[in-house]
């Protein structure tokens, strides 16, 4: 029997079912992986296991005991330790003191007779943090701070270790060392459940992998079995609309598709003649390096966007795609290299200046204000200089459904309507370059395909469009060119068909096949 058993768990947030009938087992002496696309429910499941998230149905069993209703601290005391997707360390304490806190707490509630200092020193040595043991954690690179969090979890002497994206911020060498450490810990009898976006790390570390998609387990098996599974490939790469499960095509999705079809027809009908917009790049990234503090994320990125073209930037979670967009629109600076917009170096121009000049970003998660009406959301676009009348007219002409819902709170719109609102707000400023981050998030494939038809129609007006997307199938159907990004580097650029052929190994193996 598995040390941890999650059986038939349901979690709902209002009308949204985040987890549906999820069953997962974690065996003692093994590293078990939990993977899935953005929004699949991985962190929600972690919160269920540790008692931070109530469930609507199902149960959680630890070593044969039902702990479904046990408080988080009770679960910790029976042998659970975890790390978090967002760092949760004591920044003003040293590395050693962060780890010592856990060892002291373990001795306090367990009444065991052991030396917390000795346990702390042993864990620090095993993780390889001896050289920074006296340093304050808030002065360390993010990757090193993540190792501190792992060390602190181990100092509590767990039987089950839950790790939420522990390799984020680690370089390749540190990632390999962490994988070796986890395998060593498992060989000593520890059970490890690992949520991770680095597929190379997952496939090389885990003996068994569970795959979540839309809150449901779609595959369980060895790394080789998971990589070959057609449902897993569809979850990561996208799928044909004809293969979309009927339960994912609800009435809202059907209505969104009908509206988007009208938008595409209107866009095509409005194009009276083909205008020669030239082929000089509107936006260029030349040898760009960038990161966050001491963490380097992008390495020598080269991209060029020309008028009337859609370029797809693809890659697995954590590859650096969204960071590339942030550099392109000056939300974060490049540490080296150059960004050029309309032929001129961006220099110290900020995001607001670039937006006024015609560089617009539709962010991941849509970036709408849910407690404001549709019209109030669109009013936000007037900062770029357009009048409210012009903004509303452009938005409602392109997306008539939004005109019908102008007084409706944006948070009550369907997913497709919210994405329409986000795009309408960006397009109302008459941009020259449009940056789109994960249009597909949270939407049925049927709606996603229709959205990308809108993207194709918009590009025909002469815009340059850069689409960052994890689900590749839909965007490759409208892109003129594409790139694959891995570990912060653009590894392949070419025609959509060529790039599409290389995606499976990139997404599910963490590298391109030779």
pLDDT digit string, tens, across residues 340-393: 999 899 888 888 888 888 898 888 877 888 899 999 999 988 876 778 888 888
* pLDDT reading at 318 higher than 80: no
**Which runs of E-coded beta strand occur in 327-456?**
336-341, 344-345, 359-362, 433-437
Cα(431)–Cα(360) distance, integer angstroms: 6
The H or E element containing residue 326 is helix 321-328
pLDDT (tens digit, 9 = 90+) per residue, 227-239?
888 888 877 776 5
C-alpha–C-alpha distance, residues 9 and 470, integer Å? 27
Contact yes or no for 359/427 (Cβ under 8 A): no
Query: How far is the C-alpha of 243 from the C-alpha of 286, rounded, in Å?
Result: 40
Which residues, other chains included, contact 198 with Cβ-Cβ below 8 Å and sequence gap of 6+? 167, 175, 316, 318, 510
Given pLDDT bands bounded at 50, 70 and 90, which one contains residue 455? confident
Closest to 162 measured CA to CA, from 41, 31, 35: 31
* % of the chain residues with pLDDT over 90: 43
166, two tokens: 């522990």
For the entire predicted model, the pTM comes to: 0.72
CB 17, CB 10: distance < 8 Å: yes
pLDDT tens profile 2-16: 899 999 999 998 777
| Four-residue CA torsion sign, 198, 203, 206, 211 | positive
Helix (H) / strand (E) element for 199: namely helix 199-205
Asked if pLDDT for residue 181 goes beyond 80, the answer is yes
Write down the mean pLDDT value for the chain: 85
Residues of the chain with CATH 3.40.50.300: 4-237, 243-507
Q: What is the mean pLDDT of residues 484-508?
A: 84
C-alpha dist (Å) from residue 179 to 82, 96, 202, 343, 469 = 16, 22, 8, 45, 28
Please tell us whether the domain made up of 4-237 is placed in CATH 3.40.50.300: yes
3-class secondary-structure state, position 484: strand
CATH architecture of 243-507: 3-Layer(aba) Sandwich (3.40)
The whole-number pLDDT of residue 20 equals 93
3-state secondary structure of 503: helix
Which tokens belong to 334? 């490049």
SS3 31: strand
């Amino acid at each position: 029997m598995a040390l941890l058993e999650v059986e038939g768990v349901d979690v709902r947030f209002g009308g949204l079912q985040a987890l549906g009938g999820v069953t997962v087992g974690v065996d003692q002496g093994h590293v078990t992986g939990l993977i899935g696309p953005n929004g699949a429910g991985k962190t929600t499941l972690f919160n269920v296991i540790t008692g931070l998230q109530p469930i609507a149905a199902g149960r959680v069993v630890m070593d044969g005991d039902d702990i479904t209703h046990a408080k988080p601290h009770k679960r910790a005391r029976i042998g659970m330790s975890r790390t978090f997707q967002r760092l949760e360390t004591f920044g003003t304490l040293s590395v050693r003191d962060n780890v010592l806190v856990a060892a002291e707490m373990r001795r306090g509630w367990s009444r065991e007779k052991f030396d917390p200092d000795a346990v702390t020193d042993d864990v620090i040595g095993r993780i390889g943090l001896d050289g920074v043991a006296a340093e304050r954690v808030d002065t360390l690179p993010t990757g090193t701070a993540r190792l501190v969090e792992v060390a602190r979890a181990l100092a509590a002497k767990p039987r089950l270790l839950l790790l939420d994206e522990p390799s984020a911020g680690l370089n390749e060498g540190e990632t390999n060392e962490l994988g070796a450490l986890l395998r060593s810990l498992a060989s000593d009898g520890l059970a490890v459940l690992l949520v991770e976006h680095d597929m190379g790390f997952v496939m090389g570390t885990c003996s068994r992998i569970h795959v979540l998609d839309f809150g449901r387990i779609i595959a369980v098996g060895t790394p080789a079995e998971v990589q070959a599974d057609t449902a897993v490939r569809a979850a990561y790469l996208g799928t044909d609309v004809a293969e979309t499960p009927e339960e994912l095509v609800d009435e809202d999705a059907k209505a969104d598709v009908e509206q988007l079809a009208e938008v595409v027809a209107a866009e095509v009908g409005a194009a009276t003649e083909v205008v020669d917009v030239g082929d000089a790049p509107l936006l260029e990234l030349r040898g760009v390096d960038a990161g966050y503090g001491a963490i380097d994320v992008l390495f020598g990125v080269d991209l060029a966007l020309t008028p009337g073209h859609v370029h797809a930037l693809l890659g697995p979670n954590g590859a650096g795609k969204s960071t590339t967009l942030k550099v392109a629109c000056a939300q974060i600076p490049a540490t080296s290299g150059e960004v050029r917009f309309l032929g001129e170096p961006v220099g110290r121009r900020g995001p607001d200046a670039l937006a006024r000049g015609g560089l617009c970003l539709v962010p991941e998660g849509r970036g709408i204000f849910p407690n404001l009406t549709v019209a109030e959301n669109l009013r936000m676009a007037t900062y770029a200089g357009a009048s409210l009348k012009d903004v509303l007219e452009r938005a409602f002409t392109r997306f008539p459904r939004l005109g019908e819902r102008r007084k409706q709170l944006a948070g009550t719109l369907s997913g497709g309507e919210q994405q329409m609102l986000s795009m309408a707000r960006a397009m109302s400023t008459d941009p020259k370059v449009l940056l789109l981050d994960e249009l597909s998030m949270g939407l049925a494939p049927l709606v996603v395909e229709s959205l990308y038809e809108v993207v194709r129609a918009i590009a025909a007006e002469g815009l340059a469009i850069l689409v960052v997307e994890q689900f590749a199938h839909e965007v490759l159907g409208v892109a003129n060119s594409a790139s694959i990004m891995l570990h912060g580097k653009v590894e392949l650029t070419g025609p959509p068909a060529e790039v599409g052929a290389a995606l499976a190994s990139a997404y599910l193996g963490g590298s391109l096949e030779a």
